Amino acid sequence: EVQLLESGGGLVQPGGSLRLSCAASGFTFSSYAMAWVRQTPGKGLEWVSSMSASGGTTFYVDAVEGRFTISRDNSKNTVFLQMDSLRVEDTAVYYCAKDSNRVRPNTFDFWGQGTMVTVSS
């Protein structure tokens, strides 16, 4: 059974930093790209970032480029999202998602339960 377990969310002031983690199990982690998708409370979905299976290629939505960094540790089956220079508009539930592809962002066939990030003074 595929499981994705996010952690690291919380309350942070504007300009602050947070690091999200997602521990994966139930599939060959090193064979699939991984992604972070966020959802503003009561609103829709926004793809944030993806990383290829090998970790050699990353993709970001323009709104977070230069502020967020995705990384992964294939030896620990974990993907991370380092979020710096956080803004109020980054407040959302952040989902970790398994991509169905190996390299470029594709479809997300498994999702975690999400972790809440609140940016507020």
Is 30 or 100 the residue whose CB approaches another protein more closely?
A: 100
Q: Can you tell me the distance from the alpha carbon of 14 to that of 85, in angstroms, rounded to the nearest whole number?
A: 7
User: What minimum distance in Å lies between the beta carbon of 24 and another protein?
Assistant: 14
User: What minimum distance in Å lies between the beta carbon of 77 and another protein?
Assistant: 19
Q: Can you tell me the distance from the alpha carbon of 63 to that of 51, in angstroms, rounded to the nearest whole number?
A: 17
User: What minimum distance in Å lies between the beta carbon of 69 and another protein?
Assistant: 17
Report CA 114 to chain centroid distance, whole Å.
9
Q: Which of 59, 69, 74, 91 binds another protein (CB under 8 A)?
A: 59
| Per-residue contact flags (x/-) with another protein for residues 32 to 51, judged by CB under 8 A | ---x-x------xxxx--x-
Contact 47, 37 (CB under 8 A): yes
8: left (phi over 0), alpha (psi -120 to 50) or beta: left
Residues with Cβ within 8 Å of 53's Cβ and at least 6 positions away in sequence, in order, are 30, 31, 32, 33, 102, 103
User: What minimum distance in Å lies between the beta carbon of 62 and another protein?
Assistant: 9
List contacts with another protein (CB under 8 A). 35, 37, 44-47, 50, 59, 61, 95, 100, 104-109, 111-114
